[in-house]
Chain A
Amino acid sequence: MFPRRCRIMSTDSTMRATINQKLTEMGERDRLKAFLGVKLTECGWKDQIKAHCKEVIKDKGLEHVTVEDLVVEITPKGRALVPDSVKKELLQRIRAFLAQHAT
């Protein structure tokens, strides 16, 4: 028999995969996504990021801007700009889901 620790360690990636699978199958992932979108729009995060986009576009030129440019410029800022309240709430939800369905 595997020791419990070993089991957990060895099944880490499997566990992750399983959880992710569950998240998707049960529709929780989509629900979380929608929730996040609403929250970010409410708190003005989307407008901030759009403004940042405009600057990037003006820098790079309207005609030649690519998706990659935008992604590279925006993702780090986007991640950083998420308000704490939103972050906390999302983490809470994920934890709850895990507690419910991972044990």
Chain B
Amino acid sequence: MKMDDLSLSGPDNTKLEALVHDIYSELVEDACLGLCFEVHRAVKQGCFFLDEMDQESMKEFEIVDKPGVDIFGQVYNQWKNKECECPNCKRLIAASRFAPHLEKCLGMGRNSSRIANRRLATNNNMSKSESDQEDNDDLNDNDWSYGAEKKAKKRKSDKNQTSPRRSKSLKHKNGELSSGASAEPYKYNYSVGINYETLGPEELRSLLTTCGVISEHTKKMCTRSQRCPQHTDEQRKAVRVFLLGPSALSLPNADAAVESDGYSVLDGQGLMSRLQWEDSPENSPTDSASSKSSTNHLDSRKPKKKKSAPAPFSGGGGDGPQGSGCQGSGCQGGGGGSSCSQGNIGSSNKKKRPKLPTVSIPTLYNDLN
């Protein structure tokens, strides 16, 4: 049999048509059967009637079409005005500010470490921790330190100075930092000054090199130099008496000298001779008072190495005491020369020299000579 022999004649046509229809019917029945199997399987598996539940559940999920509410019935701005309690600092923060606050508070965001480091740096500058002897340097070097701290102060002056976060986050980050307790009293406002409530050797250190006069309205110590035009020497003396006690009053140079640990060689001798010398001149009130203070501070200051301490001993300001010290030890250090025993200190002193007042020096010199 050859299929190509077939031709589409009349009767053949019907045959073919019948065949076509048969094939069509077969296809349609296949489709129906497939559907039946599908439905039956779904029924037996229990997933056929999934979209038709009891009326109760249907009501629950009906589409809501009220104004001010989305189709689920939820209000749009519901959480906009809510406040969230921070798990770290326990403060109530606005919802929209919550994420950035958490970033800073937990110290985990992108900029949080930067801010923390900056705060650490300014903290270290402000606090006179035992180990950090460079503070007075920073204070005395008006050029760079003030600028850096003013910058820091400007950024922080906007923030709430008494916010609990400051002390808490500081404690959280800088556990060893001694300024944890004093962080709050410490204002980062250098031009205004340090809060006079600071205690201990740090306070003395800062006091001795800076003007230190306590402002009436802000209760802060002026951190300008000893020659700051806003305050007189009388005020400075009063501040020192007030804060350190009458016996503690002394010229910054004298005290600084006491603190310096360059005196390791001739501590007792140099200091004692200097003290003797200090007793004699009555020219400046600070000097006479300083004699007592020097004695007191002798022991306490010795171990500390203060760069500013030797400042008076370099050329310029405190040549008097230095000279006397040198004389005592046998050195013939004159006015500006650094004492032979304290050569290195003298050189370093020269850096700080310009800040100290020169008023008393000629008088001291006179007495010395």
Contacts and interface: CB of A to CB of B under 8 A. Distances in A.
Report the contact-size class of chain B (Cβ under 8 Å from the partner).
20 to 34
A82 B4 CA distance: 34
A57 B31 contact: no
B242 interface: no
A67 B1 CA distance: 42
B53 interface: no
A7 to B, nearest CB: 7
Interface string A50-93: 10011001000010011100110011001100100001001100
A67 B40 contact: yes
B95 interface: no
B24 interface: yes
A43 interface: no
Looking at B4, B24, B35, B40, which has the most chain A CB atoms within 10 Å of its CB? B35
A94 B5 contact: no
A44 B69 CA distance: 35
A79 B36 CA distance: 13
A54 B51 CA distance: 12
Contact of A82 (B28, B36, B40): B28
A71 B33 contact: yes
B6 interface: yes
Interface stretch (B15-23, B115-123, B177-185, B329-337): B15-23
A87 B6 contact: no
Contacts of B12: 8
Interface string B61-96: 000000000000000000000000000000000000
A69 to B, nearest CB: 9
B39 interface: yes
Q: Tell me the interface secondary structure of chain A in the complex.
A: helix
A57 B43 contact: yes
A53 B30 CA distance: 16
Interface in A26-60: 29, 32-33, 36-37, 40, 46, 49-50, 53-54, 57
B154 to A, nearest CB: 70
Contacts of A70: 36, 39-40
Given A12-B15, A53-B39, A95 B20 contact: yes
Interface in B178-237: none
Interface in B6-50: 6-8, 11-12, 15-16, 19-25, 27-37, 39-40, 43, 48-49
A31 to B, nearest CB: 11
B108 interface: no
Nearest to B21: A91
A75 B29 contact: yes
Contact of A37 (B25, B31, B33): B31
A97 B3 CA distance: 14
A78 B24 contact: no
Nearest to A22: B3
A4 B15 CA distance: 14
A53 B34 CA distance: 13
Contacts of B36: 53, 67, 70-71, 74-75
Given A5-B11, A87-B24, A16 B19 contact: yes
20 contacts: A19-B19, A20-B23, A33-B30, A40-B31, A53-B39, A54-B48, A57-B39, A66-B40, A67-B40, A70-B36, A74-B35, A78-B35, A79-B25, A79-B28, A82-B28, A90-B27, A98-B19, A102-B3, A103-B3, A103-B7
